[in-house]
Structures are given as structure tokens and as C-alpha cells.
Amino acid sequence: MAVEPQFAAPALPEIAPLPTHVAIIMDGNGRWAQQRALPRHRGHRAGADNLRTVIERFTAHGVPMLTVFAFSTENWGRPRTEVEAILRLGSEFIDRHLSELDRQGVRLQHIGAVDRLPRSLQSKMRRAVAQTQANDRITLNVAFNYGGRADIVHAVQLLFAEGARPEDITEDAIASRLATAGLPEPDLLIRTGGERRLSNFLVWQAAYTEYHFSAALWPDFGAADIDAALLEYSQRRRRFGLVPGQDADDRQLEAGDNA
């Protein structure tokens, strides 16, 4: 008998509209550990454990897609012991949580280059993607060894390799060759840990994204923080460069005038 997904959703506030796609910069693991006189890798482990709680809350709200920034192309410059700990943690997360995430209807996808990752981690990532590809309750895109600028450069390189002419290099052509091709652009981007920058995360895709900055360190980022971010998002008026009162017909007219 099939197992029905059962994510805990205590005292959910009614929030509308909700974002379709939420991106998260999971910042503050190291500082969380330092505040407790623990090695930094303990903070990363606590942050990985918190990811399941966060997935559950967004799923309970009915948000269909999350993209989390787990490891950037710049993170290779951190101390070797910390990098190795993060790579091990990525492998352990799949070992510990894949079966449960699969049962709960989570579809896993990887965003980023795999060439520098250990072969064992590459294999586990492919297995996780393949095992969960039919799930449709929530999609979790894990940006691991991802950089926004590198993503754009690679897309342009693909265009040139395909013999593109200058007039072929359009926004749509680049977007369709990014690592996120086929995914909706994020409606809401959350950064924890008190910092207020993108840190090379989805720099193309987040051009019209709403931002929410939380002071909570990632391992402490919980249901109340998620509710607050979604509530703030629901109260914003998204205009996409237009003015209040314009509808879809106005957008199409402006697009035609500017063509």
C-alpha cells in the first residue's frame, strides 16, 4: 500500500498569495557553531539537519519549489578541512535522508558543476535525482558547486559553440542554457544569518525576485521564520518594472512598443 506523505504542519497561518519558487541562501552555520564553542563542521551538520524541517514547513504551506545554496564555487577557497567536511556531509545527507524524502514526495534535483566533486558524491547525486524524479509534492533544487556568474558564462559559451551570431544572443537564449533552464524564476529569495547580499547566487534568475533577510542563523531558522518570510512576501506588490493598475494586456503592449 502506498505511503501517503505526512509532513507536520502545526498551526499554519493562512497566507496568500504564496510564492511558486523560493530560493534560500543557508548562511550562518559557522557562526552558529562558534557561538557554542564548537568546530565549524558541527554547524554545517546542524544546518543540514535543519533542511528537512524547512522542507516540511514549506511543503505544508503548499510552496511547490525550493532552491537551496549548499556549496558555492567560491567555497573551494575555504580551509581544506572545512571543504572536506561539507563534501562528506553532502554524501551523508543523501545516505540518511533520501529514503524519507522520497516517501514524502520530494523531488530532488542538482544545480551546478559536478566535475570537481568526489566520484562517490556524484554517483549518489545521480541516484537521488533518478530515484525521486517522479515525485511531485515539492521540488528541491540543491545548488552544490554552483556560481551565478559561472552559470552565465557557461550559457554564453554554449551559444558560441553552437555557432550563434550576435543577434542570436538574447535573454531567452541565455536563460534556456542556464543550469536552471526550464525552472520558474524565484519569486522570493531568503538569506539567513543577517547578511544582505546575493553572494553570486542566481544572479541572472533573481533580477525581479523579492528578497527577505533574516537575522536567524541557518540552523535556528524554523517554522516561525518561514511564516514571517512568506507573510512579508504576500504583502508586497510586484510590478516587474510597470506601474500600479497595469494588467497583462498592458505588459504585452509595452513589450511590443519596445521590440
The H or E element that residue 213 is part of is strand 210-213
75 flagged as catalytic: yes
Q: Which amino acid belongs to residue 58? A: F
Q: Which residues make beta-bridge pairs with 140?
A: 66, 108
* Of 231, 253, 226, residue with least CA distance to 242: 253
In the set 27, 151, 187, 225, the catalytic residue is: 27
Q: Which amino acid belongs to residue 253? A: L
Q: Which amino acid belongs to residue 250? A: D
Q: In this structure, what are the phi and psi dihedrals at residue 183, rounded to the nearest 5 degrees? A: -95, 150
142 vs 129: CA distance, rounded Å: 10
* Of 225, 245, 241, residue with least CA distance to 233: 225
In the set 29, 50, 75, 220, the catalytic residue is: 75
* Of 51, 64, 54, 57, residue with least CA distance to 10: 57
27 flagged as catalytic: yes
Q: Which residues make beta-bridge pairs with 191?
A: 25, 213
Is the peptide bond prior to 166 cis by the omega test (within 30 degrees of 0)?
no
User: Which residues are known catalytic residues?
Assistant: 27, 75
